[in-house]
Structure 1
Amino acid sequence: MRISIIDLGTNTFNLLVAEITVDKQINILHRSKYPAKIGEGGINQNYITNEAKQRAQIALAEMKQIINDYQTVKTFGFATSAIRTAKNGKEFVKQIRRDFDIDVRIISGNREAELIYYGTREAVGLDEEIVAILDIGGGSNEIIIANSEKIFWKKSYPIGMTRLLEQFQPSDPIRMDELGEIEAFLREQLRDLIEAFQTYSVKTLIGSSGSFSTLRQVLLAEERETIETGKTHYHIKLEDFNSLHQRFLDSTLEERMQMQGMDMARVHLMVIASIFINFLVKESGVSILFQSAYALKEGALFDYIKGIKQPEKSVSSD
């Protein structure tokens, strides 16, 4: 049986096509991502602009063609923060259903966190150690404190990188006073998170997909290494992150675009994302960093295989 899963993220739309055998083995057939930037221009007004809708329509049309080519029998779409909080989000989801016959569900922040956990747990191979999982999104950031057996604490923060970028509009390169303003804002917003890190004595932070994948790509490119086929997690040395973080702070957008391994779909968000990660590392005392190649869409796949046939009910009323 072939199924496809679409993660309609605030910055990027991601498509996963997989074949599931009768004994529940997985064969990944296709992965692709599209810089739909659905939150650009209206996310802090809780509105999806016409320009964002047009980018989304183009991305979804390409995805639908791929889905048809692979002849998948089920397609699940997961709409997250930008669509979840948009005043016209429900109508946009209805439009997607009409135009593309794709079953898109608007999921809650808690459900998003759960799916990210399922994906990361498989990618990293969690054990009894309690770790923190961070998914940096454009609209929201999901934090999960867990081990292989259970989730101890989770929360979705509506302060994703697109929201922060539009709120603070930092200079290029960022000024130190602007950096201080952003860190002061994060300190106020994340008080309960820092307390949770201390409560559970978290020392390992695992970043899922997104910005952490870009960190991995840049670091590997600088070391002239290639990403190993089939490897689903990567250890990021703290000193390497600190060095790259400083380079991000000192660089212009044009200079970041020239960095080997840089993801052009995320280049405009990497300074803000790096500030977020660095703040969390400093404030929490985390000493070990990992990147997980799996996130929401893989988590949804594993969740489906376990026997949950449908995603969480939509928070929309229809």
Structure 2
Amino acid sequence: MEKDKKVALIDMGTNTFHLLITQIKSGSEPLDLVKIKEPVKLGEGGISHGEITPAAYARALNTLKHFKALIEQHGAEEIKAMATSAVRNAANGPDLIRDIATETGIPVETIDGDLEAELIYDGVKSALEIGYEKSLIMDIGGGSVEFIICNDHQIFWKQSFEIGAQRLLDKFFITDPLEEHAIEALKLYLQNQLEPLAEAIERCKPTVLIGSSGTFDTLCDIDSKRKGLDREQDCCPEADLALADFYEIYEDILRKKRSERLAIPGMLEMRVDMIVMAIILIDYVLENYTLNKIRVSAYALKEGMLYRLLHQERS
């Protein structure tokens, strides 16, 4: 590596925007200076119609301006920003990218689902040792869900599905709490949408589910609060979530309305509705693909960006 430097990494997700500012030093581990997430809800109100609404558009621009101020404050010399499902599928996505560049000077790359899955894999590998046996990584976003069958050494199969939690909310969240027939309709929809995943599972036979960040972090936070523990993600980016604990939380969330869900210790306001769709999706995957364990990685796409940057620097 030529010299020490500070880098800023931005993940423009459909629900949440993440900023990671890191100091890279020769011969030592990167030092995180800033790690924040903002509930931009870029897909809210428009993702199912292939557009970003004016309100969401404005939230995105304001958030990037805030990020730029933090980047300048910390003196980051390099900025990498990536946009995912909401931007890549919106008719006005290119307009947003152009306006971000004009108003903040931040160049944003809109990435496809394949690269998104690869970066998530790199991020998860930074958080935990996957091991030799095959695992299924699952990353639930607002716009898309990425599945990666892998071990520590390679990806055997990967695919991004445009069935993220905001899309499912728009389609199935008719009553709150959800009625049983809506849950069954959602599971039938997932069965049809996830046929390629079912074929890959049959072929590769992973046995462990690795949940990547987002909803899985929130589930671990809820689980910790229920047990009277404090979970510190930065100190330990890996966690286990027992199947029995997941199903206790699952049953509790499904029978509650929004105000009651919000009162659950560990719940985040930004996830209070989407988590309903996400846990049904997790249940569907556990139920149908014979996975006997849940591991959780607090790292995802932005840490995958950092992983690649470090390996480029060192090669």
Q: TM-score, normalising length from structure 1?
A: 0.95
**What are the superposed Cα offsets for residues 215-259 of structure 1, whole Å, 9 maximum, x if unpaired?**
011111111101135101100000000111111111101100000
Q: Which runs of 5+ in 1 are unaligned?
A: 310-318
Check the 8 A contact 1:24/1:305 in 2, yes or no.
no
State the number of aligned residues: 309
Cα displacement (A) at 1:25: 2.6
Is 1:79 matched up with 2:86?
A: no
Alignment partner of 1:31 is 2:35: yes
Q: Partner letter of residue 177 of structure 2?
A: P
Counterpart for residue 222 of structure 1:
226
Q: Deviations over 1:111-163 (max 9, x none)?
A: 00000000101211122111010000000000000011110000000010001
Match of 1:89, as an amino acid? G
Regions of 4+ moved over 4 Å: none
Partner residue, 2:64: 60
In 2: Cα distance, 1:51 partner to 1:14 partner: 19
Alpha-carbon offset, residue 23 of structure 1: 2.7
2:154 corresponds to which residue?
Answer: 150
**SS class of match (2:132):** coil
Show the counterpart of 2:260.
Answer: 255
Instruction: After TM superposition, give the deviation of residue 32 of structure 1 in Å.
Output: 0.3
Amino acid at match of 1:125: E
2:163 is aligned to 159
Q: Secondary structure at the match of 1:6?
A: strand
Q: CA RMSD in A?
A: 1.2
Q: Deviations for 1:39-66, whole angstroms, at most 9, x for unmatched residues?
A: 1111011101101011112211221111
The DSSP-based 3-state class of the residue aligned with 2:249 is helix
Q: Does 2:21 match 1:2? A: no
Which 5+ residue runs of structure 2 have no aligned equivalent? none
Partner of residue 269, structure 2: 264
Match of 1:299 in 2: 304
Alignment partner of 2:176 out of 152, 162, 172: 172
Identity of aligned residues (%): 36
Q: Counterpart of 2:269 in 1: which secondary structure?
A: coil
